[in-house]
């Protein structure tokens, strides 16, 4: 049973965090192809973040391979796509604040990574100040963000969809619930992000 009366929601558009993220631009994470040899692609990942995720994904959005890499400014990598069937794939590069997906076209004799045709999306930013939880997202194509709030017993307390703007944000007031850990499940463009938050509520 959905319980919508346990959280007092304060509707307030929050632009500060999203705008700050936008200003980082490509300084956050980028990829540059260095060379091709048959179905082998060499590239460099540049990032200001220490840990970056790399994933190979097929057209059905299945993850074929994934790894976390430690980047110290620049990370060089070579992939051999010789064993992949012909078709279209994606190389996904994920940092702390954004995800970039690069198309890969594999044919009978070669593999081509189209790093200049990447699809970029930002990740939701969650911050907590006492009993207030802030959710912000820079949605480059105005795609909606669906937010669900769960308690420690996995009860759904609240859900809503933020939409209609490039900068999506909401401030959630947890002062009417018990102090503890809550889970925010956020879905944006078929990607799900989960954040656990610890609130200091007035109610005990």
Tokens read off for 113: 């990574």
Let me know: does 53 contact 45? Beta carbons within 8 Å.
Answer: no
Work out the pLDDT band at 17, boundaries 50, 70, 90.
very low
Task: Classify domain 8-20+122-199 at the CATH class level.
Answer: mainly beta
How is domain 26-119 classified at the architecture level of CATH? Answer: Sandwich (2.60)
Tokens read off for 26: 């490509």
Question: In this structure, how many other beta carbons lie within 10 angstroms of the beta carbon of residue 64?
Answer: 11
Give the separation between CA 24 and CA 48, rounded to whole angstroms: 10
Which range has the top average pLDDT, 1-10, 18-27, 107-116?
107-116
Question: Residue range 48-64: average pLDDT?
Answer: 87
What's the pTM value of the predicted model, to 2 decimals? 0.75
> How do the residues of the chain divide into helix, strand and coil, expressed in percent and rounded to 5?
5, 60, 35
Residue range(s) of every CATH 2.60.40.3080 domain in the chain: 8-20+122-199, 26-119
Work out the pLDDT band at 187, boundaries 50, 70, 90.
very high
pLDDT of residue 202: 54
Question: Residue range 62-72: average pLDDT?
Answer: 87
Q: What is the DSSP letter of 26?
A: G
């Amino acid at each position: 049973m959905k319980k919508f009366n346990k959280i007092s929601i304060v509707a307030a558009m929050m632009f500060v965090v999203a705008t700050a993220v936008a200003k980082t631009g490509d300084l956050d994470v980028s990829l540059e192809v260095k060379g091709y040899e048959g179905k082998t692609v060499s590239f460099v990942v540049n990032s200001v973040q220490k840990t970056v995720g790399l994933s190979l994904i097929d057209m059905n959005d299945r993850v074929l391979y994934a790894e976390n890499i430690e980047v110290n400014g620049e990370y060089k990598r070579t992939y051999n796509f010789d064993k992949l069937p012909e078709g279209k794939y994606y190389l996904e590069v994920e940092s702390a604040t954004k995800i970039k997906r690069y198309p890969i076209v594999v044919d009978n004799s070669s593999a081509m990574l189209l790093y200049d045709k990447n699809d970029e999306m930002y990740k939701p930013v969650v911050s907590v100040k006492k009993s207030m939880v802030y959710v912000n997202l820079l949605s480059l194509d105005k795609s909606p963000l669906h937010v669900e709030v769960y308690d420690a017993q996995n009860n759904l307390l609240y859900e809503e969809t933020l939409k209609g703007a490039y900068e999506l944000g909401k401030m959630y007031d947890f002062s009417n619930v018990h102090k503890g850990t809550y889970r925010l499940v956020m879905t944006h463009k078929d990607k799900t992000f989960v954040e656990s938050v610890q609130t200091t509520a007035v109610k005990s």
